[in-house]
Structure 1
Amino acid sequence: MRRTLLVLSCVALLALGLAAAAAAGNGGFAPVGPADQNESGIRSIYWLLLAITGAVFVLVEAALVLFIFKYRSAGRPREVEGPQVIGHTNLEVAWTVAPVLILAAIAGFVFAKVAGIKNAPAAASAETVRIEGHQFYWQFDYPNGAISIDTMRIPYHRKIELEITSSDVAHSWWVPALGGKLDAIPGQTNRTSFRADELGNFHGQCAEFCGIQHAAMAMVVQVLPPDRYDAWVQQRRTDAAAVGHETFQGVCAKCHGLSG
């Protein structure tokens, strides 16, 4: 009995430790709150999958623990086999049909959400931003010729169309609060769209290993009120000093210091 309690205590402590590690510094178990309708659909799919897989995990582990304790040797010599059960039609039908039904439910829900994830809300006009991945920074080109590095500014509640490509190797654009990942591939332009329904800064990261400084390929999407965005994009077009400073910080300083 003492040994059983010790084992269970160790397992419980290990589970608590792993849960704490999972929740420390990486956003925890839940995805970040959605800031547009695309991410809202992805979040719904995440919670459905978590609920189903969590329930399956609990049932399987509970059955495993039950069988371990219920059918252990109970003093029987190790070389003596226990009762042998060959075949169980009801169980075999159950564990064949149950996964099929679960997968059908998941597939139906996912396909119902796909259209909403892929298509941004309709809008009379849209802002187009070209995103170009480089080793190891992001460059954003705006319709009037303005440029920014690593920080993309967009207007609040306005449809944004992204044209994503790469100048060197494969990268992957991903801002969790604003939708799914999209690869940046040399010689190819991938397109997606979204509409930010919250003001603020939303952080993202290159999601495709692209070289030794891959971890430095972070990005920020800054959602501004429309009037502030319009003023910024007009000023940035002729503000060479700001572009130069941002370029040094985002391009050069990631690999080089003042000493070389």
Structure 2
Amino acid sequence: MESHYLSTLFDHSMRIIYGNDIAVKAIQEENFHPWPDGATVVKAVWEQVENEYGELRPGKFQNVQFMVKDTKKFKDTEGWGFAKFSTETRIPTGKTASFAKESCISCHRQLAEKTGYLFNVPLKTNPLPLNHWNMKPVNMYILTSLFLFQISCIPEKTSEQFSRIVFDPAGLKVITSSVNRQLGTMSILYGNSQSYQQALTESTGHTAGEEYSFVTWKYEGNPLYDGSDINGELLCVEHITTQRSQAGKVTITYELKQGKPMPVKGKSLNKLERIHYIIEHRPAILP
């Protein structure tokens, strides 16, 4: 299972972090002291662009960063191999692999030793889901966490009882992300191949078989990196599909899977407005 989470930084960038199956399993089992060999984490970075809703969305691509765990191969850098490629032409950082020993690992050693030298390990929060759609709860770490509201009748949990839960997009891929500073939220729009191609074309017409999931989290300050925010509690999951009716027309179905949708510019949207708001997101482009 590939999984993802978000962060922003004081340099006005937006980041989506991708983890492979080994990395996700390590988070589920809190097995990152040390991380297992084969764990791979990729961070894609874009400039922030503000849209008409006052939200921040990915703009120009800046760089992509890799961390690959291989204890034998990367002995001098705590078992982690590092790589960074910048701009759309993917210019590599450093002339040789030794750049990681000279620059990368020193910062990771200083600030992220507690999490196995990885800055963007998901936060531990209170696991109180209203349902378990696409949730894989474990008593460990989370990529996305669950609700903290509507809990007045539930005994308060101590920090030791908090857990980390991996959000499973069920095979859907990231289309784009957004951040709402006013609401303090971060969102990822997932989709299948048809919905991604639809987003690329910017066409108002749709074909049957498109599938979208719009997932919103509350964001928190990253305790490992001052000036960076990372997604925390999961607030809402919305799902959109397209079908062909018996009359031959393409229809769009909206379903609220979990939580309550966030307002847009202070206004609560109806279903048709939510559909338009979600599917008008343009994809974050990777070279």
Determine if the TM-score, normalized by the shorter chain, exceeds 0.5. Answer: no
Quickly name the TM-score band, shorter chain normalised.
Answer: under 0.3
TM-score w.r.t. length of structure 2: 0.24
If asked which structure has higher relative contact order (CA below 8 Å, sep 6+), I would say: 1
Determine which structure has the larger strand proportion and give its number.
Answer: 2
Is the radius of gyration larger for structure 1 or structure 2? Answer: 1
> Where is the helix percentage greater, Structure 1 or Structure 2?
1
